[in-house]
Amino acid sequence: MNSSGSYQIASIANDVQGEIKRLKAQVNLFWDNEWRHYQEHGLANATTIIELGSGPGFLIEKLLNHIPQANVTGLEIDPLLANYAKDYLREKNQKRWQVHEGNIMQTGMEDNSYDVAITRLVLEHLPEPIKAVQEIYRILKPGGKLMVVDNDFEMHIMTYPPVPGLRELYDAYCQARFAEGGNPKIGRELPILLKDGGFSNVQFDIVNAHSSLLGDEMFFQSEGVGIPYKLMKDGFLSSKDLAKVSVGWRKMVQDKHHAIVRQLCLAVGEKPVE
């Protein structure tokens, strides 16, 4: 296990381009609810923002569109994703951004540089997330805020009617990530991590998405099949369990009263003004 964490796009899914599309859908799925939470915590007033683990640049695009006075920096360890983000943001004619290839553990950024730092679905993949939190603390201005969004796979997708085998699928995913040094159940620990990292005024929220409000298609696009097939290929999930999920999922969506719910954890902390 290296310090880059358990998410490496070339190894986590069978199809890199398909995984990039899934990452975009995942941003879109939560954005409306997520943005409301960000506004409550003052993000709309920020002028310097850094996203650590910025991936293909889809959240950077949202931030630029919603915060016209902000300059947004992305930091991404994967050169494939960093280059994709640069090309994507140029193609969208976006201004006020920079994307750097670098490590969240040692950003290379100057002390006291940013109003807000965001890290989204990143800490769950790190072997030592507290070190990332401490590094983010260093580069935030006094009074600046860290906003962390992450999974807790005890509260991942829930459905009505229940889908047989879904629990086995998520258990397999957790086993794979734990084996690589990650923690896919880190969501419940986020407030503790922020406090241990020196942050004050820590708050905790749940970001959610519901199929009756957003439609099924956004959920389908944000999940995909690449990761489950990779879990089966790597021996974490049996073909029988994967087939059970596929059949159960199809039956679930055929029920006219079906529901799909997904949640993310959000923790926000403030760097004290000394």
CATH of the domain at 243: 3.40.50.150
- Is 55 part of any domain? yes
> Is 0.85 surpassed by the pTM of this model?
yes
- Is 2 part of any domain? no
Is the bond preceding residue 161 a cis peptide, omega within 30 degrees? yes
- Is 1 part of any domain? no
Residue with tokens 């860290």: 146
- Is 4 part of any domain? no
Phi, psi of 95 (to 5 degrees): -120, 175
- Is 218 part of any domain? yes
Task: Please tell me the predicted confidence (pLDDT) of residue 2.
Answer: 42
- Is 8 part of any domain? no
Task: Please tell me the predicted confidence (pLDDT) of residue 14.
Answer: 61
CA dist., res. 200 & res. 145, Å (int): 9
207-234 pLDDT per residue, tens: 999 999 999 999 999 987 678 888 998 8
- Is 244 part of any domain? yes
Task: Please tell me the predicted confidence (pLDDT) of residue 202.
Answer: 99
In the chain, what is the straight-line distance between the N-terminal and C-terminal CA atoms, in Å? 37
| Degrees, nearest 5: CA angle 163-167-168 | 110
- Is 129 part of any domain? yes
Residue 119's nearest CA partner among 75, 72, 177 is 75
Residues 6+ apart with CB under 8 A from 65: none
154-165 pLDDT per residue, tens: 888 899 999 998
pLDDT less than 70: residues of the chain: 1-14, 225
Residues comprising the chain, all counted:
274
Domain total of the chain: 1
Task: State the residue range of the domain holding 178.
Answer: 14-270
Task: Please tell me the predicted confidence (pLDDT) of residue 76.
Answer: 97
